[in-house]
Structure formats: C-alpha cells, structure tokens
Amino acid sequence: MKCRKCEQTAVINMRQHKLALCKEHYPAWIVEQTQRFIEKYRMFTQDQRVLVAVSGGKDSLSLWDILWQLGYQADGLYIGLGIDEGLGYSDESHRLAEQFAAQRGLHLRVVDVAETYGETIPQMAERTTRGKGRPCAVCGLTKRHVMNRIARDEGYDVLVTGHNLDDEAAVLFANTLNWATGYLLRQGPVLEARQGMARKAKPLCRFYEREMTAYALVRGIEYIYDECPHAVGSKTIYYKEMLNKLEVDRPGAKLSFYLSFLQARENGLFVASSENDSQTGASGEALHTCPSCGQPTTAPGECAFCRMVLQVREN
C-alpha cells in the first residue's frame, strides 16, 4: 500500500480514516492532529507550563515527543513506584524516561515513592485493604496524589497524560455498563481544575493504541514494552479486548463510541443535578479538603492517601 501523500510505502493504514501514510508523513500527521485536538478542546497554549506524566511507556513518551516538536513548554514527571517483580519494571521505565529526556535536553522531574513516603507501592499495598491481592488501587491513588501535588506546587498550568483512545473507550465502556453517573459527567479530553485539583488534559485521546505504537516505532522512541505485571487480568484489559473484537467487526467502532459520547454530552444529553454534580465526588457527595495535603477528598478529615502514608510512618 502506498502513502496517500507521496509514493513511498505506507507504514500504517487507518481504516477508520481511510488513510495510509509512510514513515515520514505518518509521524507528521500525528503531530498535526495532536495540535488540532489541543486547540479544539482548548487544552493549553504555547505560553502555559505543561507537566507530562511520563511512565516510560509508548504513549507518555510519544506525547512528550509530540509536545516537544510542537514547541510547548513541557516538562516530564516520572514517579518511581518501586515495582520490580523480578523484572526490574520500575528501574527500566525510569532509565528509558531519563534517556528520552537527555536525548532531547528536556527536564524530567522525578518523585520516588519509597524515598518520599517510606515504602514502595507493592509494600504499601500489603498493609491496606485497598491493595488486597493487587496494588493497582494503591498505585492509582498515589499517582493521582503525586501528579496533582507537583503540578500545583510547582506552578504548572496543566497536567497532561498519555491516555489513548483505547484507554478512554475502555473506561467509558466500564462506566457505561453500570451507568456511573459521576464518572460519565467528568470523562473527556479536559478536566477543569477544581478545589485544589490541577487542570488535566489528554491530547492523545483520539488516537488508537496501535497508532501510538506505530508512532513510537517510526520515531525510534525506546519505551518499555511490557504492561505493568500487576495489570494482567485487570478489568480495563478485559474491556479493551471486548472493544477490540467489536472494532474488528466494525472498523471505527471505538472512535465512534467515544466521539458520539462527547457529542451527546455537548448537545446537552446529560444534566449535572444535585445527585450527579460535577463539583462532587463520582458518587455524588460534596468534596472536602484534606487538612494534611490540601487535596480534595470525599469525606471530612485526612484523604485516603494521607491516611495510608500515616500508617506507613507509624509502623
């Protein structure tokens, strides 16, 4: 198959866009499209400071690479989670993130969870009921806290993550299967700042996972190939597989699911009532401020993250 824009061999064929592109025109197209989405969803501007959450995976490194090419003031944030599992998972992710930043002369801010809070994620998970069997809940809680803290304390205008369409569609699918009102009202390319929470944006939300993989490969970005060893068997992966099956039978199904959701919301399908207000937690209750860290929490008193860290310190 030939590139739509020149005579070279295409490296990717995007059936849902009826578009095949070569190894020069494909990454250029991704960069242009990202700029289009940044503007369309009013994510951030050239004079704002952007913090990119970098995991060492293909999506976050590609995102940082794109923003760098577009000339945005984008620093990286790497959070050392201490996940090893005999694979040196976190060490290798950290090495790749540092290497990426050094190659481009970019600033990578590093927060090591064990150094900062006393224990690694798997260690913390062992002492909480949240973590029973699987540290993912503790990991998510910690990453949200740290990303938010750095974005706020170090004066960034927006925190951006590398969530791609497959990620977003899977989360939307999960939230739709049980009609999780609070989450449905909030999911989207941009989450506005609220009550001590940084503004968040997802510039890659309209790209398929395979498009991001192709981008990273064509750009020669070295990234960590493996999924986190703890993610195996997760609900999100289960829903991704269901949506992949649907996509095979109906090319474009994932994109249409996500975009028609955004469109329906824009057309006013949903209403934020007292039951499901956007200034509340996902299950509808009013938000409080944690007296220790100043971040929002659904119950009065210390937030779940600060309570967990307190437990670590007391032991």
Element (H, E) at 77: strand 73-80
Asked whether position 129 contacts a copy of itself by CB under 8 A, the answer is no
Instruction: Establish if 268 lies at the interface with a copy of itself (CB under 8 A).
Output: yes
Q: Are strands 190-191 and 200-201 parallel, antiparallel or unpaired?
A: antiparallel
Which residue, 87 or 231, has its beta carbon nearer to a copy of itself?
A: 231
232 binds a copy of itself (CB under 8 A): no
Regarding 315 and contact with a copy of itself (CB under 8 A), the answer is no
Residue 176 binds a copy of itself, judged by CB under 8 A? yes
270 binds a copy of itself (CB under 8 A): yes
Residue from 150, 261, 297, 309 touching a copy of itself (CB under 8 A): that is 261
Element (H, E) at 254: helix 253-266
- Pairing status of strand 108-112 against strand 73-80: parallel
**Exposure pattern of 253-292 as b/e (b: 16+ CB <10 Å)?**
bbbebbeebbeeeeeeeeeeeeebbeebeeeeeebeebee
Residue 45: how many CB atoms within 10 A of its CB?
A: 13
Rounded distance, CA 266 to CA 207, Å?
A: 20
Q: Output 48 or 183, the one with its CB closest to a copy of itself.
A: 183
**Is 106 among the residues that bind a copy of itself (CB under 8 A)?**
no
User: Phi and psi dihedrals of 309, rounded to 5?
Assistant: -65, -35
Asked if 278 is part of the footprint of a copy of itself (rule: CB under 8 A), the reply reads: no
Which one of residues 269, 286, 299, 310 is an interface residue with a copy of itself (CB under 8 A)?
A: 269
Residues within the interface to a copy of itself (CB under 8 A): 176-179, 181, 184, 238, 242, 245-246, 249, 253, 256-257, 260-261, 263-264, 267-271, 273, 275-276
